[in-house]
Amino acid sequence: MRFIFKTSYDRDIDLFEDGWHRARIAALLAVLVALPFLLGEYYLAEATNLLIWSLAGMGLMLLVGHSGQVSLGHAAFLAIGAYTDAALMHCGLPWPVAFAAAGLVSGLFGALVAIPAIRMSGIYLAIATLALFVLVEEAVILAEPITGGIGGIMAPPIQLFGISFERYGALANFYWLCLGVVAAVTLAYANLLRSPTGRAFMAVRDSEVSARALGINVARTKTLAFGLSCAATGLAGSLMGHFLGFFNYEAFSIFISINLLLVVTIGGLGFIQGAFLGAILIAAVPQVLSILRDVSGIDTSGYPGLETVVFAAILIGFIIYEPMGLYGRWLKIRTFFDLFPLCRRDMFRRQKSYLKTERMR
């Protein structure tokens, strides 16, 4: 059992618990930076894809896990970010400007949508965001001069200071670019949760009536959460567009929204780390199925929905046996060893997870 003895208020507000925590984060970053020297091109591409999914997962985690609002149409904001970035770069703007504009446009669009949507909650809000996804998909097809319509659009290669960050020509550089963006967004996200705004998000999530009693403007807080969530998702969409190279509206289907919900639900609602763990699981399951197919020699090409079935089984298993997700399970294991041998079998009774903002208390 380890105790942290704090001797100043600065230690109390520090982002890291202690020096050991800071050293672990630094070691993790060092390993991630060194991955291009350790992995082949195929697995490095998978690692890059994982970073992009983690960024999109953090966007949805802010909305679902920390503000208690449901969204089934977040793939629409991935599409908005990707098309905004590609269209502005085709107009001659440099990538940093197009990238920032992708997040800004997605965030503003999300905030505008949130103004009428925040009057709903639960399943009604989920249906509203699903309808929004359908509208954005149709708008992409109709805006053919900008988006390429059904034919799609090509994301121009990224050039910064004469260095290429093209996904197919300079994959290592593109990986480091994605890693830098994800690290910056993660740092901003962690500090946001420690701010009064982040605490207001969680207060609204837990009880809207109590939040109003504390003087929190619930409507403004929900709108801000929706806007920030969509902005982060738009940044992920921008990187996803460059990762794909060429894309059309089918690249951002409803299944992408479902997979994003799987990321935050299986990873652990309410934990930043859950977005990364969920993204690892989403990226690993297709690879594991492919390896098992090669090892066993069984042809699964006649079962196109096999991955969906596996994801559904995993989700049902977590909902029944571990509603707190992968990170929640890790917290229980860590607590078990921290308290050993004083831990008890009934310390971790199975919790039922639900969105508390579905009811007014």
List of domains in the chain: 39-358 (1.10.3470)
Helix %, strand %, coil % for the chain, to 5? 70, 0, 25
- Residue 44 near residue 175, CB atoms below 8 Å: yes
- What does each C-alpha distance from 70 to 66, 258, 315 come to in angstroms? 11, 12, 17
Whole-structure pTM value: 0.86
Nearest by Cα to 71 from 242, 275, 226, 285: 226
Other Cβ atoms less than 10 A from the Cβ of 264: the count is 27
- Residue 265 near residue 71, CB atoms below 8 Å: no
> Which long-range contacts link 87-96 to residues 24+ away (Cβ below 8 Å)?
87/146, 87/147, 87/153, 89/155, 89/156, 90/153, 90/156, 95/158, 95/159, 95/160, 95/165, 96/160
Distance of alpha carbon 70 from alpha carbon 261, whole angstroms: 9
- Assign 3-class secondary structure to 40-85: CHHHHHHHHHHHHHHHHHHHHHHHHCCCCCCCCCCHHHHHHHHHHH
Tens digit of pLDDT at every position of the chain (361 positions): 566 676 776 666 777 777 777 888 899 999 999 999 988 888 899 899 999 999 999 999 999 888 888 888 888 999 999 999 999 998 889 999 999 999 999 999 988 888 887 777 777 888 888 888 888 888 888 888 888 888 888 888 888 888 888 888 888 999 999 999 999 999 999 999 888 898 999 998 888 888 888 888 888 998 999 999 999 999 999 999 999 888 888 888 888 888 888 888 888 888 888 899 988 888 887 777 777 777 776 666 666 667 777 777 887 888 787 778 888 888 888 877 777 777 766 666 555 444 444 444 4
φ, ψ of residue 73 in degrees (nearest 5): -125, 30
What is the maximum span of the chain, computed from C-alpha positions, in angstroms? 67
